A and B are shown apart, each in its own frame.
Chain A
Amino acid sequence: MDVVQLQRQLVDYRASLYHEAFLDEQFTQLQELQDENNPDFVVEVVSLFFEDSERLLNELTKALEQQSIDFKRLDAHVHQLKGSSSSIGAQRVQKVCIAFRNDCEEQNVEGCLKCLQQVKHEYSLVKTKLETMFKLEQQILAAGGSVPM
């Protein structure tokens, strides 16, 4: 595939991520912060998000396995996941976190368990999508092209 085709593929792919609400305007803000002095900024922030989310999802899983669930602690982790997903524009993850927080507040164990499943699912989807997008960007650069904004 030539550079122009790859660039077109990337533009279409990105558009689909916004259209399907995997990403929102906040992701665009991230891209606008990237420049020649910080050419890997988006990848760095997103990698940080992946690391932090995986840690939080582990904590959430452990917290919900306890005999006596500490809902305050649970809520604190969900709050953090909500914050970081919102800051990179991972809209679908953020939306599940909002519902999750409501269940924590109501101390609804079943609701929390469902939300945990959902948030893991949405996280895994957005992670795959972003990794695919970054791979496309790498292919364009390797082919000597520039990544369209």
Chain B
Amino acid sequence: MVLGKGASSSLSRKMVDGVENMVSNCNDFTVLVVDDDPVIRKLHDMHLKKFGLRAQVVENGKKAVDLCHFGTIFNLILMDKEMPIMDGVEATKELRAMGVNSLIVGVTSRDSQYETQTFMEAGLDFCFEKPLTADKISFILQELNKKN
């Protein structure tokens, strides 16, 4: 297997069948984790590390919007819903209005269907209950590969 530039030697092989090819693309993807909970930020960061991804982490929607506004491009944004200053719904709307076409995946607590729908309508590609698991991340990366 040929690994991409900057490949890390600690790449995880814990992949679902048939998607080992994605490992060679993984290190080129940029990820932003947006969550006000430091426990979740650390957990999601570790999950992503296992797939050979390095994530930037910010604690609210405004910081995410500012980063993108100043030109940082992310392939994947993991967006929490409830955050202070600017929540996930607002941040997603703003990002889409700015023309950001990253894969944006919403991460919610067990909210009502209506609230998840509102979040999806703001411009998410997918929405999952938190915390993310290896299977969910695997799925997200498959979608990321398709998109790119």
Contact = CB atoms under 8 A, between A and B. Distances in A.
Interface of A: 26, 29-30, 32-33, 37-38, 41, 44-45, 48-49, 52, 76, 79-80, 82-84, 86-88
A41 B46 contact: yes
A48 B38 contact: yes
B97 interface: no
B90 to A, nearest CB: 15
Given A79-B109, A82-B109, A87 B46 contact: no
A87 B130 contact: yes
24 contacts: A29-B134, A30-B43, A33-B43, A33-B46, A37-B10, A38-B49, A48-B42, A49-B39, A79-B82, A79-B109, A80-B36, A80-B37, A82-B109, A83-B109, A83-B130, A84-B38, A84-B39, A86-B109, A87-B37, A87-B39, A87-B40, A87-B43, A87-B130, A88-B39
A45 B130 CA distance: 16
Of all A-B residue pairs in the complex, the 9 with the closest CB atoms, nearest first, are A84-B39, A87-B131, A33-B46, A49-B39, A83-B37, A84-B37, A37-B10, A48-B39, A87-B39
B96 to A, nearest CB: 25
Nearest to A79: B82
A5 to B, nearest CB: 32
B84 interface: yes
Contacts of A52: 37-39
B42 A45 contact: yes
A82 B37 CA distance: 10
Contacts of A88: 39
Contacts of A80: 36-37
Contacts of B36: 80
B27 to A, nearest CB: 16
Nearest to A89: B131
A102 to B, nearest CB: 13
A84 B130 CA distance: 10
Nearest to A80: B37
B39 A45 contact: yes
Interface in B36-57: 36-40, 42-43, 46-47, 49-50
A45 B84 contact: no
B21 interface: no
